[in-house]
Amino acid sequence: MTDPTTLTTEARTVLDVIRRRRTVDITLLKPDPVPRDVLEHVLTAGTWAPTHGLTQPWRFTVFTGEARTRLGEIFAQAYAAGTAADRGSESALAAQRARALKAPAWISLELHVPSTSRFPLWEEQAALSSAAQTMLLAATAFGLAGKWASGAVMISPVTAAALGAPSLMGFLYLGYPNAGVPDSTRAPLADKVTWAE
Ligand SMILES: Cc1cc2nc3c(=O)[nH]c(=O)nc-3n(C[C@H](O)[C@H](O)[C@H](O)COP(=O)(O)O)c2cc1C
């Protein structure tokens, strides 16, 4: 019988991808487009996230190529409708338009809770969050990097309405990173885990 503590090739691969997924600033992405096949693998992985009662409370809109100009316009509209002091500034709106073009692919995280759902809202949000993390991991496996972006514009009702979504939990942006992706840090396991044996 195989020793259950053996780090199998599969376990090593999964753990390595989890460790290698790091949040990457948009300025560290190459402009190279992400092939649609790759994005479909990433999205499919997202849909295999856990979902209580199989409510699958997610919809995704994928912006690539020229469509990012429309996304930038949506971000600008959301910014103009927000509360930032410079919401009336043309340069601030131009920065919102430009931001959308800085990542080759954007995936909206749209929360669609079925009216028949028997579950509390947090469980539906948790399902969409699980889908987001699963997509980030799948993207990492393809050599992509990105960020879960949840700033005011990313969750704005204006942005949600433009996508036809009831609400948004932000966007993932993805692209191929330049060399030098910064690492992150975590508290030691002992700070977070209590073993009851
Ligand atoms: C729900 C959620 C929303 C996030 N929103 C943002 C964001 O708006 N801007 C940002 O820079 N990072 C955002 N992040 C990413 C965190 O900043 C990042 O995970 C943290 O810095 C740790 O880095 P790591 O992901 O590389 O471990 C978000 C993460 C989560 C889980």
The confidence score (pLDDT) of residue 181 equals 86
Report domain 24-63+103-178's class.
alpha beta
The confidence score (pLDDT) of residue 180 equals 79
| Residue segments in the chain with a per-residue pLDDT below the cut of 50 | none
The confidence score (pLDDT) of residue 24 equals 97
**Closest to 142 in 3D by CA, of 58, 29, 21, 59:** 21
Buried b / exposed e along 5-27 (16+ C-beta atoms within 10 A):
eeeeeeeeeeeebeeebeebeee
Residue nearest to atom 17 of ligand 1 (CA): 23
Please indicate whether residue 151, judged by its CB atom, sits closer than 6 Å to ligand 1. yes
Name the β-bridge partners of 108: 171
Please indicate whether residue 130, judged by its CB atom, sits closer than 6 Å to ligand 1. no
Name the β-bridge partners of 110: 59, 168
Residue nearest to atom 29 of ligand 1 (CA): 148
Q: What is the per-residue pLDDT across 41-53, written as a single tens digit (0 to 9) for each?
A: 999 999 999 999 9
The confidence score (pLDDT) of residue 2 equals 77
* 42 φ/ψ angles, rounded to the nearest 5 degrees: -65, -45
The confidence score (pLDDT) of residue 92 equals 98
